[in-house]
Structures are given as structure tokens and as C-alpha cells.
Amino acid sequence: MADAKLPEILFQHRVSYGETDAMGVLYYAEYLHIFERARTAFTHILGLPYKEVEERGIYLPVREAQCRYRSPARYDDLLNVLCGIAGWRPASFKFTYRVTREADGVLIAEGLTSHALVNKAGKPVAVPDWFREVFAHLPGQEK
């Protein structure tokens, strides 16, 4: 129930030629690039671009990444990436990703990235209130 209020955004990405491989499909490492683009879009929609998070001295290095490849995507496919925050811990949190193809709605992949919060020196820091305040709610969404 509580999860239903967690913010989630939609990011669109068109598969480029350079992202495909000789099997004719989107190469498996490229999904992590797309996830990162979705995270950046997420922070833009929240009104606090990740670039500004870094300017406030907070960095979000990835501690773990997972991806399940459900169906291949191909050159020029338009992908819909549903990106949301899945869980909070004292000094970390998770993003989840669900990738479908615009043309037919087929599930392409599901992913997860776990992020630490660290300062510029790389030392873990507790999630600041301003950070949780911004990241836990989408603009206009009831709290």
C-alpha cells in the first residue's frame, strides 16, 4: 500500500545502432546506461537534477546492479522505462526499472540498482532529510 505512493516516472529511449550487437539485439551492458539515463530523468522530474545533488556534496555510487533480460530489443525500438525508488535504508536506497517496447508493450527487461550515499571523499553518509524529502515524493503527489 505504502509502495503505491512511491514516485515512479516514465523515460523513453530509442535503441541506437551503436547499442546493438552482432546478434542484432540491444547489448546487455547498454541496459545499465539506459537505467542511468532514466535515473537522471527521474531527478529532473523531481526538480532536483542529480547534478545539483552532487553540487550539494552528495554522490550516489552504484553498489549493486541487476538486470533480467526478458525479450530482446532491436535497433530503432522505442522503449518505455518505468523508473522508481524501491526501498530506503539508513545510508542507501534502490531504484527499480521496468522496460517495455512502445510498439507492442512486450516486457523487455527488469532491473534494479542499489545506491550508497557518500560525500566527495567517498565516505558513506546518512540520507539527509532534504534528500529524502525530495526523492520520496513526486511533485504534486500527496505525501
Cα–Cα dist 139/59, whole Å: 22
Contact flag: residue 61 with its own copies (CB under 8 A): yes
Shortest Cβ distance from residue 92 to its own copies (Å)?
12
Cα–Cα dist 129/142, whole Å: 18
Spatial neighbors of 53 by CB under 8 A, at least 6 apart, are 43, 59, 60, 131
Contact flag: residue 88 with its own copies (CB under 8 A): no
Contact flag: residue 68 with its own copies (CB under 8 A): yes
Shortest Cβ distance from residue 132 to its own copies (Å)?
22
* Cα–chain center distance at 125: 21
Contact flag: residue 86 with its own copies (CB under 8 A): no
Cα–Cα dist 61/122, whole Å: 9
Piece of 18-26, 83-91, 96-104, 133-141 that binds its own copies (CB under 8 A): 18-26
Max distance between CA atoms of the chain, in angstroms, equals 47
Question: Which residues are at the interface with its own copies (CB under 8 A)?
Answer: 14, 16-18, 20-25, 27-30, 32-33, 36-37, 40, 49-51, 59, 61-69, 72, 74-76, 113, 122
